[in-house]
Every structure is written in structure tokens, then in C-alpha cells.
Amino acid sequence: MTEVRHVPLAPTRAQRLAPGAGIDAHRHDDHQIVYADRGVLTVTTDAGSWIAPATRAIWVPAGTVHAHRAHGDLRLHLLGLSADDNPLGLKEPTVLSVSPLLRELILAHTRAADRDSPEQRRLRAVLLDQVRVCPQEPLCLPMPTAPPLLALWEILRADPSDDRTLPELGRQVGASGRTLSRLFRSDVGMTFPQWRAQLRPHHALVLLADDMPVTAVAHRCGWSSASAFIEVFRRTFGSTPGAHRASTAGG
């Protein structure tokens, strides 16, 4: 990321972002919880990409250079927390599961006209109590840095359904399968199958936000059938693609 803006205090507010719109690379002195109750949100750093539908939020630690991107019509809620107030003790961006109660607390607090009122301070205290018990979700797609892996990333980002093996892809990027396998472990911290298994659900969320039919999303992202896609999606995100679409488009 280049031309990083420094925003001293992380804002607490609600705003709308049109499909494909975003907030360019910036950093805050404070922590931030980023939540979209409509659409799908991605937060990107040099280390990777975190994605969140309406049942998830993203924790962004103080000082982290990050950018936001909207998929679908995004209704964004930004909650700033003092750098001294880290209810989860997390030092890296993390996806958090958002309960129905936490969702309503975030909406109420970010939409309030006077956040310093006694009522809002009490609401914020309950909100932080809920954040402390949030389950964390493994929804990060690590970003490779080694040139052969970056070339492979471009191929699979353009076509996640590409089902070639690592040695077959290696012939296109000019590296052996063994070299690529070693690079995935050292550069990304996971195997190639594990990384591709993260890439495909990420891409599926984006396509669903763009109103692509479920069957088309399944084939575009490399699943052999819609039923196989629905099962993986349900295990990963806790709902079917249809229920997910209803939750991110409602309200």
C-alpha cells in the first residue's frame, strides 16, 4: 500500500459505501471494529485480506495500515476504541462472530447522535463486554510476497475454478511444484490446498454480494456442484448461501 493516510483517532460512525467503493489505505492510533450489517466487507493489509458478511465484524488493531472495500451495497459501521482498551488482547486483524445482541449494540452506538451521554456510555460498556466473548473466525486469506506465488495468486484470483495441481501451475509461473510447496509453507504459513480452500469461499462471498446465482457462484469458484458448494459455505459461514444473501441484503 502506498500514500498511507494517518487518521489520529479511529472514528465511530455509520456510513454507506456503493458496490466496489472503498476507503483507501490508512491507519489509526486507536483500535477499530469494522462491521457491515448489509453487503460484504473486505479489509486488506500487506499481510492479507479479511472478509466479513453481516454475521461477522473485523477487528483492526491500532497502527495497522488497512483499506476497506465494499461488495454489494454496503452499510458500514465503524467503532473506535482507545489503544489502551483491547478487550480481546489481539495484535493482528481478526474476524469476529457477531451475535444478534452485539449487532444491535453496534448499530445503536454508531448511529447515536450523542455518544457521550450516560446512556451511550452504559451501552458501550455492554458492547465491550460482548466483544470480549466474541468467537474468532479463521477468515483471513494470507497475501503471498514471493514472486512465483504472486504470479500464481493472479492466475487463481482471475479464475478460482482453475483446478490444476501445483506442479501444473508451476510450469506456468516458472517454478517447480516442490519449490512452490516450500514457498507456501514459508511465505504464507499454510499448504497450497489450505490456501486455495480459503481463496474460494472469499471469492464466493464477493460474487454472491454481486447477485450472481448460487449455482453460477459454485461453478465459478471451482465446486463440482451447487450442493457441494452449499455444504462448504454452511460449514465456513454458518448459513447457506441463500440465507447469507437474505441477511446481507435486508433492512
Checking DSSP bridges between strand 31-45 and strand 56-60, what pairing results, if any?
A: antiparallel
- Residue 4 pLDDT grade (very low, low, confident, very high; cuts 50, 70, 90): confident
Residue pLDDT, tens place only, 146-201: 999 999 999 999 999 999 999 999 999 999 999 999 999 999 999 999 999 999 99
200 near 217, Cβ under 8 Å?
no
Q: Is 2 a residue whose pLDDT tops 60?
A: no
What is the mean pLDDT of the segment spanning 103-116?
Answer: 91
Distance CA 47, CA 137 (A): 17
- Terminal Cα-to-Cα distance of the chain (whole angstroms): 34
- Residue 1 pLDDT grade (very low, low, confident, very high; cuts 50, 70, 90): very low
pLDDT of residue 11: 83
- For the chain, the structural domain boundaries read 5-140, 142-249
Q: What CATH code would you report for 5-140?
A: 2.60.120.810
Q: Is 10 a residue whose pLDDT tops 90?
A: no
pTM, full prediction: 0.87
Query: What CATH architecture does domain 142-249 belong to?
Result: Orthogonal Bundle (1.10)
| CATH topology agreement for domains 5-140 and 142-249 | no
Nearest residue to 36 (alpha-carbon basis) of 93, 81, 74, 79: 74
